[in-house]
Structure 1
């Protein structure tokens, strides 16, 4: 267990530390077999760490740059993909993990394991994902297996969501093939493959009952789709019956859609009435409004954007030393939701407007709370904007003394995309603020370059922290990152620390600060009294 290091005045201050004596070789970040990524769901932009091409065995120019392009590589029925795993909601904090196959070439299939975490928009839906892919080259696609009902429902819900996203209809077909000599499910799946598109899914409810989720199949075409299924399976052994229900015509929920289709299947009879479409008297088409996206401009104009903070604690004493801030939006009923990523910020200087608003609130909070420290993340586009430095200087000048308690958090990917930002980092440092590098370990910044950057702290990306308990590779990789930070004389923090075992492991390696669900969830900061009064008058 690491002991408290003497002489570390302040949160980031202290002399460079001597690297520990190693017993056995520690894997370097370059040798890590995982590929980290970030995915803005609403803009669909997918950003990879530099070693992704080597991991997937693709030229860098051929890496999928959107979530849609990546989904085209997923082999149907090989396992729940990213969207399905997120919809399953395996982690209350937005974490997920799954395993599926990628079809990288007609004759090359690669099984991958994926772990990650999504962050919500103001309506609680996934908006931004950060995750990690690992390859298992020794495995190929899995045969069709009978799924747990919860997993199958997640798969169906994913199809419904995708259909709604493109303003289409999702048709769920449930089939039963009864008889002593009925064909196996993998045979049925293979015969149905010609009518399946990339977003369609085949599922197994039981040895004699299957589901076929057709994204983009209107209700009017559902009887024709069932007839085509019957035609493809005409040579199968056993008595075939089929039934279908449609979303959103019948419901928006996977559980109800499956129940409706199974109810219709009960009225189907081989020979006389083998295909039945569920009949609903009410349609819920008005619920399409759920598909509306978050309006950033409206939230800015209504002053609904606010700060939400969670504590960053000292790894040794577990005392809060810093408040980690994030943009949040006030929703109906006083509910506040943190925003992992706001779509379309690259257009119209929206990132500067949002970050400027967050800076204003952070400065007011620090001025009203002289014993608090606060870390404020800033978007890459904001750092490049010529108005950012004057805006920062103006807010700090209007509130003297808060600069030493403000930490600006810079994403590693921003430096990887634009090396010219180094001068702006030094300019911000000269104002007197602290600087933190988030996303440490993703590989966008060469290790040698860190020596010339004015950072006080390096924050290890959460995609490497989340699987520490079960992944030897990640333990070696994170320990190497900690060693590197210590060799540079910088404080090191870790995010997504959600359990005591991970916290103790990181402490033993010498991590200085911890952040995650173990120490508290984000809470909205109260608005300044003057702002509340102004808003009250405006509404009155």
Structure 2
């Protein structure tokens, strides 16, 4: 039986793709409460896939837009954060997998599983991460939370009440967090007794741990916070552990109106005091020192385009059953004498210039040249969402194909699923590209941008399952069930299906047994540069210079 892909394009002609019977679809409901995210670690921009607000139980406006804002929602001491997991990940695999507590409200905490893959920048350090965040629905039950989290929730609710009361009467609330070194069993109780002289009726003292405490002072403005911390130190001067006392403070509403943020800001100030070995520290709302990724010199895409130093690298995709090469995926890269091929990450946004179109246009030129010079090769070229929507893209594609007759049947254009969030708006562009004789692939499949009904309308030959769902297959029953659902959906529509981020033999065999047609990942090879004559001349010129 001819598949949808085989009937609409000549791209699969000659490929040893096994015949496959159409299967009845499974129920369309997703068993996986997970969302996709992408984190640009250089700019710190954090973008979410569909359903993120619903999965986290937050209003859309409250979804964190930066990595820093997201990190402030992670409960300290309850698992490695995403940044810590990425830092601990080994460079060859570049995968991370962690579990931690996420505080969404003063009295609402959930456990999340965070797994993904980071991509290095030109300097080699982590610069871009993509993964999935899955919320454990059972963890929201208060009785299942660790004691320390329940106590923290009670404290935050009381702090929020204090903030609300202070704001009601146009007052302020200062939160002081302290820590001491010591092994005494009931140290915080003794500290509370010593601090009573400085506490008013609505002030609050609570233990954050054996040697950590919080003191909320209502009607204490930010200008009085330093003197309040000095008085606190003087009240504890007779304590044996007083010499190791460190304090951090933050103020509402100067810094925030929310108790969760106020406590986090005070804890950040305390961490600064401990780091710099200072007795006390007040929260500084100014931007913190940039991360190592942000300190990297940004890659100059414009310069690379002007001097034509971008080169073509190819990543293999193989047939799942036979492991025979199927096609090569093109990607932009640089050549380094020290590090070899350096694949480049997503193209950043540049004001008043569609840099994505310029880069994708250059890669189209290199891809078309390679296909013309190698008549037996098949290549796929990913393009960005902005490129698909640019009115110059279709004429550019038609011009390159017209200048090299015959390559269209060996070229596949990869479109990200996110680009089809407004499906009907871009449907005409997809049909226009198909009319040129090329193949079309939809990447990032499973994120949720395209509904099953919309999928039926698309002239797609290949669906590539998002690697964020492939990576945890070995440990996650939910991911296995979800991927099976995606495969069955594609098979029912007669569309070939591929999987990315396939790094081990067990995952490859599992996917092949489920009916996946093509596989891509570290198991089958990393991107390798294809030296175009112009790139070779540039390398020789730089070597002589």
What TM-score, normalized to structure 1?
0.72
Indicate the residue corresponding to 1:532 in structure 2. Answer: 536
Query: Given that residues 500 and 518 in structure 1 are in contact (C-alpha distance below 8 angstroms), is that contact kept between their aligned partners in structure 2?
Result: yes
Deviation for aligned residue 1:289: 10
CA distance in 2, matches of 1:179, 1:72: 29
2:209 corresponds in structure 1 to 187
* Per-residue deviation, 1:293: 1.7
Asked if structure 2 preserves the Cα contact closer than 8 Å seen for 1:16 and 1:487, the reply is no
Residues 239 and 483 of structure 1: is their aligned pair in 2 closer, same or farther, counting only changes over 3 Å?
A: same
| Structure exhibiting the larger radius of gyration computed from Cα positions | 2
Q: Is the 8 A contact 2:110 2:136 kept in 1?
A: yes
Q: Following TM superposition, by how much is the alpha carbon of 1:308 offset from its aligned partner in structure 2, in angstroms?
A: 1.7
SS at the partner of 1:505? helix
Task: Say if 1:16 and 1:490, in contact at 8 Å, map to a contact too.
Answer: no
Residues 34, 320 of structure 1: alpha-carbon distance in 2 compared, 3 angstrom cutoff: same
2: CA distance, partners of 1:337 / 1:233: 57
Q: Residues of 2 paired with 1:508 and 1:306: CA distance?
A: 36
CA 1:363–1:242: 2 relative to 1, 3 Å: farther
SS in 1 for 2:457: coil
Number of corresponding residues: 441
Instruction: Tell me the equivalent position of 1:49.
Output: 49
- Which residue in the other structure is 2:526 paired with? 521
Maintained 8 Å contact 2:233/2:242: no
1:351-370 equivalence runs, <5 A: 351-370=356-375
Alignment of 1:397-436 (within 5 A): 397-417=402-422, 419-436=424-441
How far does residue 92 in structure 1 lie from its aligned partner after superposition?
A: 2.6
Q: CA RMSD in A?
A: 3.9
Q: Does 1:301 align with 2:323?
A: no
Instruction: Classify 1:232/1:58 alpha carbon distance in 2 versus 1 (closer, same or farther; 3 Å).
Output: farther
Structure 2 SS opposite 1:425: helix
- For residues 133 and 87 of structure 1, what CA distance do their matches in structure 2 show? 18
Residues 37-70 of structure 1 deviation map (CA, whole Å, 9 limit, x = unaligned): 2223334433323222221112334323333332
Instruction: Write out aligned runs for 1:442-521 (5 A).
Output: 442-521=447-526
* Aligned-partner Cα distance in 2 for 1:193–1:96: 37
Q: 1:506 to 1:387 in 2, by over 3 A?
A: same
Aligned to 1:129: 129
Hey, what's the Cα distance between the residues in 1 that align with 2:214 and 2:335?
47
- List runs of 5+ in structure 1 lacking aligned partners: 1-5, 146-174, 195-223, 244-260, 266-272, 276-286
Aligned to 1:75: 75
2:93 maps to 1:96: no
- Which residue pairs with 2:36 in the alignment? 36
CA contact (8 A) 2:186 2:210 kept: no
Distance 1:235 1:476, change over 3 A: farther
Distance in 2 of aligned mates of 1:229 and 1:138: 41
Q: 1:338 is matched with which residue? A: 343
What TM-score, normalized by structure 2, do the two folds share? 0.71
Retained in 2: the 8 A contact 1:29–1:441? no
Q: Any idea what the Cα deviations from partners look like across 1:255-309, whole Å, max 9, x if unmatched?
A: xxxxxx99x99xxxxxxx999xxxxxxxxxxx99953222211222232222221
Q: Which runs of 5+ in 2 are unaligned?
A: 1-5, 150-178, 189-206, 217-226, 247-273, 281-291
- Taking the aligned partners of 1:425 and 1:402, their CA distance within structure 2 comes to 18
